[in-house]
Structures are given as C-alpha cells and as structure tokens.
Chain A
Amino acid sequence: MSIRIDNTKCIKCRACLAICPGDLIEFDEILGATMDKQQRCWGCTACMKMCTKGAIELVATDYKVSSPIIEPDDNQTCHHRMSTMTTQASDDKVTWTITKTDGEKIIIETLKSESNQY
C-alpha cells in the first residue's frame, strides 16, 4: 500500500511536496513530483488531497511482499493487478474514487461538515 504518481498528469505545482508527514516526495524538473520511497509511505493520503489533477493514487497491496524491498522500476508490474484509489478534495467534501481490479469504479463522497455515523 503506497502512493504512485502519474507524471503525465502532474502539473509541477509542488503542492504535494510540502504536505507529506514523512517528507518523502521529491521534485524533478522534467518529470515533476516523484516518490521512490514506497516502503516508507504510511498511506495517509495527505498528498492525494492536495493534488487538483488526481495524479496521485493509493495502490492496494496483497501484504505478502516482505523482502527484499522492491525497486521503483519493478513497482509498476508488482502492483498492476491491485485496486487503486484517487481523491479529489474541495472546500466542502472529499470525493474518493476506487478502481477495482475488474475496472469497476466506486465513488464515495465524505462531506467535511458531516460527522461519521460510527
């Protein structure tokens, strides 16, 4: 479970850089935001909520990967069949889009002014 940044969508605004509680996101002049420390990501989604372009997704994992730490290049193939989640945050709500392995999309809205029921 880690984030993955789609550099074709990144507009190099750097908003995600100054939010990560682990300070894990770097900046590349050509690519934009990059993250190659998947093993250090907490999965908090703070960066995703800052991204206005939905360029960052949280990728599910089977939790079986233990060792060795997978290099970023291999990451894509390692994750290719896992569900993913993107987030769009506005002033009043957060919209979460989950894409399941079969392509089905689930959209969940959480209103910022509304408490959890549980």
Chain B
Amino acid sequence: MKIKHLETDILIIGGGTSGCIAAKVAAETSDYKIVVCDRSYIIRSGCLAAGVNALNAYIGPDETIESCLDYIKEEFDGIIREDLVVSILEKLNDMVSILEDMGLPILKNTNGSYAMRGKHSIKINGENIKPILAKPLIEEAKVTLLEEVYILDLLTHSGSVVGGIGYSKRKKSLYIIKAKATLCTAGGAAGIYLPNNQGQNAHKMWYSPFNCGSGYAIGIRAGAEMTGFEMRFIALRIKNTIAPTGTIAQSLHPVHRNRLGEDYLKDYDRVTTELRLHATTQEEEEGRGPCYLDTVGIDMKVSNLLEKAYLNMAPSQTLDWYDKKMPTDLGVEITGTEPYIVGGHSGSGYWVDYKRRTTLKRLYAAGDVCGGSPKKYVTGCMAESVIAIETIIEDLNGLKGIELPEMSVVEKITNFTNRIDEASPNDTKKLEALELQMQKIMDTHAGGKSTNYRYNSENLRMAQAEIISLIEITEYMVVKNGEALISLAELRDRLMVAIVVIAHLLERKETRWQCYQSNTDYPQKSEVYQCYINSRYDGNQMIMYHRPLVRKGLGYEHTN
C-alpha cells in the first residue's frame, strides 16, 4: 500500500452541500490552502446526487426570523439550540441569492418574488444543483480535491485534531492529511436500521445510502461530545420508491386518506411533520392502511408537471408511475421510512459552540453532522458551513505561526489498513450479512419500522449487547482487498453510530416525540427531560450528559 502525506491549512471532510460552500468561501476570503476530501466524486456526491426540487429553508415574505424559529421550536418540542437556529436563519436568504448567482433556476412570481411552496419552501430546478455547487471547487487553485478517499479516522495530537487519515480503494493508497483546522461536513447516517426495501432494492431509500455516518463516527472515536442522537428522523415517503412527498403535499394539498376513504388528519388542530407520520403509522397499525395522498382525478396537466418535478429529484418515482399506475388513477401510497440519523433534518450531531467549534480543539462541524439545529436542509447547511468556515479563518488568523506536529509524534495512526490480507477469503457476503444483522437488531430492538418505532429499556439493552458483539467481530476482521476494506469501514462507522443512538434512547426516559423517540416504558413527556441529551465516548464507555436548553441571544460557548 502506498502512503501519501499531505499538509494543508484547512481540511474539509465531505464534499456535499456544506463542504462545497465552505471551500468556496475559504478560497474567496482567505489565502489558506484547502484540501477537500470526498468518499466518491464531487460532481454528484452526497444527498443531492439526483437533485432536489425545492429549497425547503427560506424565509418567505410573510415570515420572519422569529416566526421561523417558533415553527422549528414547535416541530421539535423545544429541544433545539435556539442560538444555532437563529444564526442560520439570519443567513438563510443570502444563501438563496448565492445559489441563484451560481446559476440555480428559481421559480418567480410576475412581481419578481420567489414562488413559494408552502410557508418555507421555494420552487427550483435542482436537478443540476450539485454540479453547480461543485464547479467552483474544481476550478479553484487554492483547493486540492481528493476524490474517492474515505476518511477512516481523525489525526489527534495533544488533545487537538490535526487532520485525518483516508483510504482510496482505487488508488490503493493511504492518505495522511495534516491540517491546522479540520471541518467535518460529511453526511448523516443511513442504513443503521433495516430499510423499507431489502435485497435487490435495499438502497432504494430516501437519504443517501452512501452516507454511513462516518462523519459522526470519526468524531465519536476521537472523543467529541455529541447531542440529540435519540432525536431520530423518520420521513413520511412514497411507498416503494421512498421518494419525498412534499412536492405533492405542499403543492396540491391532497387529503391524506386511509383505505376506508377517511381523511385521517382532519381531527388534528395543527399537524406537525412528526404528527403526520404518527397518524399514518397509527392508521396502518390499526388496520386502516394503506394510506394515500389522494391525487385521484387530478388534471393530466398537473400530473405531467408532477412527473417533471420528480425527474428533477427522485427520477425512479416518475418511472414507477409509468410502470404501474399514474397518480391521476390511483392515490399515491405513503408510509414511514426507517429511522435515519441526520442533523440537517432533526438535531443529531456534534455538540458545538455558537461558532461551530466542536468540543475537540480545531475540529469544526457544519451541515448534517452538526447537532442542535434541525430543519436546515440545503440552504441551512450552507449557512452553517459559512459560519464554521468564518470561525476557522478567524481562529487560524489568531494562530499564525502554528506548526503541525512531526509525523512520529502524531498519537493516533489507524491500524485499520493493516486489515488487508490478500490470502483471506472474499468476505463480501459476510460483510453484507453483518450489516443486515445490525439493521435487523436495530429494527426489532431499538425502535425500527417493524415495531412502529417503539421500544423499551429491555429491548434497548438487548440491542446494546448485540451491537457490542458485532463491534467485537469487526474489530479484528481481516479482509481480502481495498473494496472490502471500505465496506468494513462503513460497517464499523455504522455500528459506532448505532451504539450511540442506543445510549441516547436509553437516557431519555420519556416520550418526547412520537415515532422519533417513542419509549413504551415512559409513554409521557417529562419536565426533567426538557434538556439536551449529550454523550462522549472515552474509548471505553459512553458518558452521558444532560445539558440545559440554550435560548436565543445566548451564544453558547464550551466551558466544561
């Protein structure tokens, strides 16, 4: 195996929405050298590979920062970091302007204002959004782009993060990247729980199946404090294709109907995202499923426009309509997905100060891996990333003359790549089986879809023991080649996330959110848990913390 050494000022881990905008801003506003690492190819990597057909975080003409904050607070029952959310909201609409300047088409009204879809979304053509975001990076001389490099671990020295170690299966190389500041902008975690589809269709899920929580796992292993891993995100999606429903729900406002033809949301005063999912799950559980978005009889012209909107985001849905029945003839069947861990939608991720510093020195976080600020989506992740990179530049300016440690004194060089032994049998099937085992345990014992997202303490303890035994198996596993090594790395990262999720679910002894965190031992809300549940892995065990809520106007700083 070849070993490549790189030194840089700023290492950005993850070339998705957040990573792209961070690199662009750093290159435009500083002279620092930047390395961007992506596990695949930046033009279409991350969640936005197929596109997205709306920007879901925008402050419309009838809304204010205050009203948006109230909305997000209500959606997550108060357990949000108001300081972080407000800092994002303040920059949100500027991010839309940046995207428009970069070439993103946005639908406008005749008076020039953006056409709204609901209260917080604007309509775009986002099929091409990822190439638009990635283009400046590819052309920028200050940015070194490392594609197809999977970051295995962070490099640490005297309590600071000093870069990362990555592996490329195609180049058969190990990358040791030393950096004065490291920004983690990797994705959240899909594939922790058994997905809706299996076998041939196992990756037909909503969130990118290639986001396996490595951005979380590298931080957890290095001892970073994490928040909100019990606030799982479960999406209400179109059955089978698991395509988003917002396009139909927010544009056409169809009735949510059960198989008896009843409008099962009509008795709710105010329907949050969580309650919509809960109500649908309940209909299914009580035998009134399947549930549909009632599109029967919509105009053919409307149907054609829907087909186009889906081609720009989830093309498999349009194909599926033509393969089976069109939405004009049959309602669009909906169901809940498996739980995902994703800070861009709910609040799971790194515990950061208001400037996006993590609890590890010189490690920063933004986007889906950053906790406490849900409902960020594309523009919110961008805003957060701009805040993080501005902090990095400020911190680096104050650290002028800082020397990176000599390689011999770097404390943590992963032994992970010693796991390749060409003489070992091909383990692909074994790795797939272990992944499935993890997903099944999480599904049945840690509140997966098969239990309608419910769990109890006894379940969780069993899941904990079983996940630990899987971690032990993978700890010493030797694989045949680089490709299997990446699969092993993915599994190792997912297991790390799984064990943290279980620890957080055990710690919140209440039911704060239906489905997201539904504990049958404690089916009610409790005032005691009007706080964040945080955790830190000390290399041996999880240490849990209850942190008091941070209200707006109080820029939170790390103290202990």
- Most chain A CB inside 10 Å of its own CB: which residue of B197, B304, B311: B311
Is the C-beta of A34 less than 8 angstroms from some C-beta in chain B?
no
CB contacts under 8 Å to A, within B141-191, are: 147-148, 169-170
Among A18, A20, A100, point to the contact of B323 (Cβ < 8 A): A100
Q: Which secondary structure dominates where chain A touches chain B?
A: loop
Residues of A within 8 A of B125 (CB): 110-116
A67 to B67, CA, bound (A): 48
CB contacts under 8 Å to A, within B15-49, are: 39-41, 43-46, 49
Q: How many residues of A contact B (CB 8 A)?
A: 49
Is the C-beta of A44 less than 8 angstroms from some C-beta in chain B?
yes
User: Is the beta-carbon distance between A58 and B44 smaller than 8 angstroms?
Assistant: no
Residues of A within 8 A of B209 (CB): 22, 40, 42
User: Is the beta-carbon distance between A96 and B201 smaller than 8 angstroms?
Assistant: no
User: Is the beta-carbon distance between B203 and A113 smaller than 8 angstroms?
Assistant: no
A2 to B44, CA, bound (A): 17
CB contacts under 8 Å to B, within A76-118, are: 78, 82-85, 87, 94, 96, 98, 100-101, 106, 108, 110-118
> Digit string of A47-83 for contact with B (CB within 8 Å is 1, else 0)?
0000000000010110101111110000000100011
User: Is the beta-carbon distance between A117 and B123 smaller than 8 angstroms?
Assistant: yes
How close is B330's CB to chain A, nearest CB, in angstroms? 15
Residues of A within 8 A of B199 (CB): 39, 65-70
User: Is the beta-carbon distance between B323 and A101 smaller than 8 angstroms?
Assistant: yes
Is the C-beta of B322 less than 8 angstroms from some C-beta in chain A?
yes
How close is B187's CB to chain A, nearest CB, in angstroms? 10
Residues of A within 8 A of B432 (CB): 69
User: Is the beta-carbon distance between B323 and A60 smaller than 8 angstroms?
Assistant: yes
CB contacts under 8 Å to A, within B221-269, are: 240-241, 247-248, 251-252
Known A-B contacts A94-B127, A110-B125, A110-B311; A118 and B247 likewise in contact (beta carbons under 8 Å):
yes
User: Is the beta-carbon distance between A44 and B197 smaller than 8 angstroms?
Assistant: no
> Digit string of B119-155 for contact with A (CB within 8 Å is 1, else 0)?
0000111011000000000000000000110000000
User: Is the beta-carbon distance between A112 and B105 smaller than 8 angstroms?
Assistant: yes
Known A-B contacts A21-B40, A21-B44, A108-B307; A118 and B241 likewise in contact (beta carbons under 8 Å):
no
A1 to B203, CA, bound (A): 9
Is the C-beta of B457 less than 8 angstroms from some C-beta in chain A?
no
How close is A51's CB to chain B, nearest CB, in angstroms? 13
CB contacts under 8 Å to A, within B411-449, are: 432
User: Is the beta-carbon distance between A42 and B203 smaller than 8 angstroms?
Assistant: yes
Is the C-beta of A46 less than 8 angstroms from some C-beta in chain B?
yes
Is the C-beta of B519 less than 8 angstroms from some C-beta in chain A?
no
A113 to B106, CA, bound (A): 9
Chain B: CB-nearest residue to A79: B200
Is the C-beta of B312 less than 8 angstroms from some C-beta in chain A?
yes
Residues of B within 8 A of A65 (CB): 199-201
Known A-B contacts A65-B200, A85-B315; A60 and B308 likewise in contact (beta carbons under 8 Å):
no
Residues of A within 8 A of B201 (CB): 1-2, 39, 61, 63, 65
Chain A: CB-nearest residue to B128: A112
User: Is the beta-carbon distance between B305 and A118 smaller than 8 angstroms?
Assistant: yes
- Most chain B CB inside 10 Å of its own CB: which residue of A21, A58, A94, A117: A21
Residues of A within 8 A of B312 (CB): 110, 116
User: Is the beta-carbon distance between B319 and A58 smaller than 8 angstroms?
Assistant: yes
Residues of B within 8 A of A42 (CB): 49-50, 203-205, 208-210
> Digit string of B194-225 for contact with A (CB within 8 Å is 1, else 0)?
00011111111100111000000000000000
Residues of B within 8 A of A70 (CB): 199-200
Is the C-beta of B70 less than 8 angstroms from some C-beta in chain A?
no
How close is A67's CB to chain B, nearest CB, in angstroms? 5
Residues of A within 8 A of B202 (CB): 39-40, 69
Is the C-beta of B320 less than 8 angstroms from some C-beta in chain A?
yes
How close is A106's CB to chain B, nearest CB, in angstroms? 6
Residues of A within 8 A of B387 (CB): none
> Digit string of A23-45 for contact with B (CB within 8 Å is 1, else 0)?
10000000000000011111111
How close is A93's CB to chain B, nearest CB, in angstroms? 10
User: Is the beta-carbon distance between A19 and B43 smaller than 8 angstroms?
Assistant: yes
- Most chain A CB inside 10 Å of its own CB: which residue of B46, B197, B322: B322
Residues of A within 8 A of B43 (CB): 19, 46
Chain A: CB-nearest residue to B190: A42
User: Is the beta-carbon distance between B107 and A108 smaller than 8 angstroms?
Assistant: no
Known A-B contacts A44-B49, A118-B123; A19 and B44 likewise in contact (beta carbons under 8 Å):
yes
Chain A: CB-nearest residue to B252: A118
Chain A: CB-nearest residue to B122: A115
A117 to B86, CA, bound (A): 30
Task: List the 4 closest A-B pairs by CB distance, nearest first.
Answer: A115-B107, A60-B323, A44-B50, A83-B323
- The contact sample of 11 A-B pairs, CB cut-off 8 A, is A1-B204, A1-B319, A20-B41, A20-B44, A22-B203, A83-B322, A110-B308, A110-B312, A116-B125, A117-B308, A118-B252
Question: What 13 additional pairs, Cβ within 8 angstroms, besides A46-B44, A69-B199, A96-B311?
Answer: A20-B44, A40-B202, A43-B316, A46-B43, A60-B320, A69-B200, A78-B200, A98-B322, A110-B312, A116-B54, A116-B309, A117-B309, A118-B306
